[in-house]
Amino acid sequence: MSPDARRPEIRFLDRSTPPHIVTLVMVAGLSALAMNIFLPSLPGMTEWFATDYRLMQLSVSLYLAASAVLQIAIGPISDRFGRRSVLLWSVGLFLVATLGTLLAPNVGVFLFFRMMQAVVAAGMVLSRAVIRDMVPGEQAASMIGYVTMGMSVVPMVGPVVGGVLDEAFGWQANFALLIVLGVSVLWLVWADLGETAAGHTARFADQVRQYPELLTSPRFWGYCLAAAFTSGTFFAYLGGAPYVGSEIYRMPPSLLGLYFAAPAIGYAAGNYISGRYSVAVGLNRMVLAGTAITTAGMLLLAALDLAGLAGANAFFGLTIAVGIGNGMALPNANAGMLSVRPGLAGTASGLGGAIMIGGGAALSALAGWALGLGGGALPLIGLMLLSSAASVVCILLVIRRARRIGA
């Protein structure tokens, strides 16, 4: 069956129908861009606020931690009140928070508004839930793959644009651009995003009573942890790569931004593979293939570093494997999570996202701490390798259980 089969009629900029794929890409893309556009500016921002890198790096890990907490609430709220209204409110609050980051007089105030920006995580959560509302099973994995393939252009160009803006106008230009794009996405959601969860009217108490069905499901946890550890490889990269590029390889912000986008190239390829082959290959095998590719890339990078052969080109070049693996594994792991209880797609997406992003926040903070111990890039590479290897173990356990019960 083709990825387009069984989809409802969609008319662009007609909110009486479900949203166009362009809208879903833009909504999810704003969330991704807010996460990474300013990363090449972290060393310069450290000097601007007269602080140290490990404190400034909290702008990544605190953002991820706030995203994790918010995603627990975003899913149930959207299941109760609908995807559209939650997205409109979240983008509006994101604009307020972004203005606050521009006006922040010190690093403490900046970090507060930076955490507040995490409300835009609703875009990532609900783009998946909207897709699951529209199509079932492997079709959802396929469509998520196509959406995230388009969205992957954002983290690919975001650090590049951020580095250029930083050199030309200073770090504040990155956040000014987020305001402009946030206004555009707010209008697009208003004009195009038709409600897809109109039939979901469960009370919060009813939803909470159904949490154990998700939280006691080995399949739900297997997919969640596979997604958490494979994405954790990338989040550790987010937390540590700006330091590796600027302090170890002595790269200027514009060049660092260009190299920093390397995983996004792989992510686009991985998402294309998901969109093209998930239906034919199946969720579990696609997740396994993706996690194995990431682990193999990190093993090679660790070997090169130990041999003294891992310069900037090797380090950033091999992180393309992280992108390919994430692009193959995450759409399928997310679809697997959401298929455990389709009627609670928003809740499952929020809980799964909270687990995934919460783990990412911890790994991002750990990356900053580990690099402070010295040893060049090896502590970061080792952390990424361990996280990726754990994702392989998790999906193998899911596959083993499925074979045992004959699923």
Q: For the segment 57-111, what is each residue's pLDDT rounded down to a tens digit? A: 788 888 888 887 887 777 778 777 778 888 999 999 999 999 999 999 999 999 9
Is there a domain that residue 14 lies in? no
Euclidean distance between the first and the last CA atom of the chain, given in angstroms as a whole number = 21
Q: For the segment 372-403, what is each residue's pLDDT rounded down to a tens digit? A: 777 788 999 999 999 999 999 999 999 998 88
Instruction: Label residue 2 exposed, middle or buried (CB < 10 Å: 0-12, 13-18, 19+).
Output: exposed
Residues 397, 307 contacting (CB under 8 angstroms): no
Residue 295: pLDDT band with limits 50, 70, 90? very high
* pLDDT exceeds cutoff 50 at 2: no
Residues 388, 291 contacting (CB under 8 angstroms): yes
Is there a domain that residue 13 lies in? no
The pLDDT value recorded for residue 95 is 97
Largest Cα–Cα distance of the chain, in whole Å? 60
Residues 281, 330 contacting (CB under 8 angstroms): no
Total structural domains in the chain?
1
Q: For the segment 205-255, what is each residue's pLDDT rounded down to a tens digit? A: 666 666 777 777 888 899 999 999 998 898 889 878 888 888 889 888 888
Closest by Cα among 176, 133, 193, 181 to 344 = 133
Q: What span, in angstroms and rounded, lies between the C-alpha atoms of 140 and 143?
A: 5
**Count of Cβ atoms closer than 10 Å to residue 21 Cβ:** 17
Q: At what angle do helices 345-371 and 204-215 cross, to 10 degrees?
A: 60
CATH code, domain with 260: 1.20.1250.20
Q: Which two tokens stand for residue 47?
A: 């000097």
Place of tokens 């996690």: 291
Whole-Å CA distances, 6 to 2, 113, 339, 344:
9, 42, 17, 20
Q: What span, in angstroms and rounded, lies between the C-alpha atoms of 264 and 316?
A: 11
Instruction: Provide the residue range defining the domain that includes 327.
Output: 21-189+202-405
Is there a domain that residue 208 lies in? yes
Place of tokens 């991002």: 364
Q: For the segment 20-57, what is each residue's pLDDT rounded down to a tens digit? A: 778 888 888 888 888 888 888 888 898 899 888 778 87
pTM above 0.85, yes or no: no
Torsion of CA 108, 111, 115, 117, to 10 degrees: 120
